């Protein structure tokens, strides 16, 4: 199944989703251009959806985030949303394995006028995260990369978020299979690490957490210990 091409919003009713997008206008011309340019460059359509991007911006604003980490940059769509949410005082460190994607993201950050706030780190996130640890503790960590890595990314967030900081994890529903004990199909390998992420977030004692019921599921925890 994987990520849906069109990421709906609320109750699965396309008309309701259209209404929400009309009223809340989550995607301006800059974000639309980033999405379209990413598609023309051959990137898979796995960026967050427009309403998810708006959630990220609003959550970053609500948290008063000034120092954030994003794991999984792709073409920079969600990074622009986070940078906008933090404002000109904010700094976003974003990690991307693929150099071509990182280059496209840098162009997106330029185009959105946030390049001065964003540092793109290229390579396996778990190795490269060490480079920024001295700049912590962080206010916000957004996890949206390889699913096998989610438990380790959460462990990193536990250590490097400030108390009161927030961790966000996209694809928290594991493409609709997070609750299944014996998942089958192309997403099966992603289910166990995504479930481990959610269970540790919910029960590990370091976060007060919930799952926002977006199309993909957005896990969210506030660090309490
Ligand atoms: C779902 S996409 C990120 C989408 C992006 N957050 C957005 O919404 O615009 C996941 C990205 O993580 C990258 N990735 C995969 N494994 C990684 C790793 N070990 N370290 C860093 N990035 C990784 C992939 O190349 C891909 O571009």
CATH of the domain at 138: 3.40.50.150
C-beta of 145 in contact with ligand 1 (< 6 A): yes
C-beta of 55 in contact with ligand 1 (< 6 A): no
Report pLDDT for 1: 61
Residue 118 DSSP label: E
**Is residue 57, in this structure, part of any structural domain at all?**
yes
**Is residue 3, in this structure, part of any structural domain at all?**
no
**Is residue 171, in this structure, part of any structural domain at all?**
yes
Q: How many domains does the chain have?
A: 1
Average pLDDT over residues 109-120: 98
Average pLDDT over residues 115-127: 98
Task: Give the max Cα distance, the chain.
Answer: 47
- Which residues share a beta bridge with 161? 138
Q: How far is the CA of 19 from the centre of ligand 1 (A)?
A: 30
Report pLDDT for 221: 98
Question: Which of 46, 44, 34, 117 shows the shortest CA–CA distance to 76?
Answer: 34
Question: Which of 10, 1, 3 shows the shortest CA–CA distance to 214?
Answer: 10
Average pLDDT over the chain, rounded to an integer: 96
**Is residue 7, in this structure, part of any structural domain at all?**
no
Q: How far is the CA of 37 from the centre of ligand 1 (A)?
A: 17
- Residue 163 belongs to what H/E stretch? strand 161-169
C-beta of 152 in contact with ligand 1 (< 6 A): no
Which structural domain range is residue 179 located in? Answer: 14-223
Q: Where are the alpha helices (DSSP H) in 77-162?
A: 77-86, 99-112, 125-128, 150-160
Report pLDDT for 187: 87
Question: Which of 137, 120, 134, 122 shows the shortest CA–CA distance to 78?
Answer: 120
**Is residue 122, in this structure, part of any structural domain at all?**
yes
Is residue 194 a contact partner of residue 183, using CB atoms and an 8 Å limit? no
Q: How far is the CA of 146 from the centre of ligand 1 (A)?
A: 6
- The predicted-structure confidence for 165-212, as pLDDT tens digits, reads as follows 999 999 999 999 999 988 898 889 999 999 999 999 999 999 999 999
**Is residue 2, in this structure, part of any structural domain at all?**
no
């Amino acid at each position: 199944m994987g990520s849906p091409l069109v990421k709906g919003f609320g109750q699965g009713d396309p008309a309701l989703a259209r209404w929400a997008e009309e009223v809340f206008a989550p995607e301006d011309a800059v974000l639309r251009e980033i999405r379209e340019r990413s598609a023309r460059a051959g990137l898979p359509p796995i960026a967050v959806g427009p309403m998810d991007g708006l959630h990220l911006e609003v959550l970053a604003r609500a948290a008063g985030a000034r120092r954030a980490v994003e794991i999984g940059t792709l073409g920079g769509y969600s990074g622009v949303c986070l940078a906008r949410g933090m404002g000109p005082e904010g700094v976003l460190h974003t990690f991307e394995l693929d150099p071509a994607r990182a280059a496209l993201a840098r162009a997106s950050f330029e185009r959105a006028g946030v390049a001065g706030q964003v540092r793109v780190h290229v390579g396996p996130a778990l190795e490269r995260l060490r480079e920024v640890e001295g700049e912590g503790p962080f206010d916000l960590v957004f996890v949206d990369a390889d699913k096998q890595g989610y438990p380790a990314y959460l462990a990193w967030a536990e250590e490097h978020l400030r108390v009161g900081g927030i961790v966000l994890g996209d694809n928290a529903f594991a493409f609709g299979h997070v609750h299944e004990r014996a998942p089958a199909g192309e997403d099966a390998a992603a289910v166990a690490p995504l479930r481990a992420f959610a269970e540790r977030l919910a029960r590990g004692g370091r976060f007060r957490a919930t799952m926002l019921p977006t199309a993909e599921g957005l896990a969210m925890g506030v660090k309490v210990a």
